[in-house]
């Protein structure tokens, strides 16, 4: 399979009989390789510089360690339901995960004790994130399809009603999905919720008959 960018650069993709991506030649002619185990788990990646990344899994098929070319390793731990509890990097920095009774991620806690929080509506949809620095991102959904329609990265620290308006220069993304639920168009810019965006940039996406993305271009 091939994809061609607006500038004419072409990338090539290779798949095995199980429809697993096994190789890619990018637009700069760099070659990537991927290897899988019998269960379809990715166990090795090789980049164009021949750097290898290895993956190990538990009996549930969840990745438990990632080892890079320098021998640095990330480890991951899970609960009995398969929800991740912690991730520790090669420098021993630990990130903890907290979940609610419905299996929704509610909080991340870093090695300094700072929290990244997630909030949901009654339908279980993510409606707000508050990052480690206190910056908010708010999400709105299409009333008919229920799909994500807009995200707002709040520039202001003031607690205003973001459903009616957003602070000037908030970064806003708008999403359009096709009838199969695939992302068809994404527009990003700055401004106020519900009004025309400034510095607007739009990306459009196309898919093949198997639902694999084959094109992403600026509109």
Question: What letter would DSSP give residue 14?
Answer: E
Cβ 88 vs Cβ 97: under 8 Å: no
4 occurs within a structural domain:
no
Cβ 55 vs Cβ 43: under 8 Å: yes
Q: Dihedral angle at the C-alpha atoms of 35, 40, 42, 43, nearest 10 degrees?
A: -70
The stretch 187-213 carries a mean pLDDT of: 80
Which residues constitute the domain of residue 163? 133-218
212 occurs within a structural domain:
yes
- Residue range 154-185, pLDDT digits in tens: 765 444 444 444 445 777 888 888 878 888 88
170 occurs within a structural domain:
yes
Q: Hey, is 6 helix, strand or coil?
A: coil
Question: Which tokens belong to 145?
Answer: 């399809």
87 occurs within a structural domain:
no
Against a cut of 0.75, is the pTM above it? Answer: no
44 occurs within a structural domain:
no
C-alpha 69/C-alpha 114 separation (Å) is 30
Q: How many CA atoms lie within 13 A of 131 on its CB side?
A: 9
120 contact partners, CB below 8 Å, separation of at least 6: 104, 126, 127
Task: Report CA torsion sign: 156, 204, 177, 27.
Answer: negative
C-alpha 91/C-alpha 10 separation (Å) is 38
46 occurs within a structural domain:
no
- Most confident range (mean pLDDT) of 65-79, 150-164, 203-217 is 65-79
C-alpha 198/C-alpha 16 separation (Å) is 44
- Residue range 100-147, pLDDT digits in tens: 999 999 999 999 999 999 999 999 999 999 999 988 899 988 888 888
38 occurs within a structural domain:
no
188 occurs within a structural domain:
yes
Count structural domains, the chain: 1
């Amino acid at each position: 399979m091939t994809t061609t960018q607006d500038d004419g650069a072409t990338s090539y993709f290779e798949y095995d009989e199980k429809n697993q991506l096994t190789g890619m030649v990018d637009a700069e002619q760099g070659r990537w390789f991927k290897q899988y185990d019998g269960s379809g788990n990715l166990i090795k990646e090789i980049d164009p510089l021949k750097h290898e990344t290895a993956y190990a899994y538990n009996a549930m098929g969840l990745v438990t360690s990632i080892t890079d070319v320098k021998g640095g390793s990330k480890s991951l731990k899970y609960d009995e339901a398969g929800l991740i509890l912690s991730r520790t990097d090669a420098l021993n920095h630990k990130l903890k995960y907290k979940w609610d009774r419905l299996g929704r991620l509610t909080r991340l806690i870093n090695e300094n004790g700072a929290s990244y929080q997630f909030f949901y509506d009654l339908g279980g949809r993510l409606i707000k994130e508050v990052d480690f620095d206190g910056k908010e991102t708010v999400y709105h959904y299409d009333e008919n399809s229920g799909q994500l329609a807009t995200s707002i990265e709040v520039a202001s620290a003031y607690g205003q009603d973001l459903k009616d308006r957003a602070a000037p220069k908030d970064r806003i993304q708008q999403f359009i999905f096709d009838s199969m639920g695939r992302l068809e168009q994404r527009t990003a810019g700055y401004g106020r919720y519900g009004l025309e965006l400034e510095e607007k940039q739009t990306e459009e996406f196309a898919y093949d008959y198997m639902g694999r993305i084959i094109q992403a271009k600026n509109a």
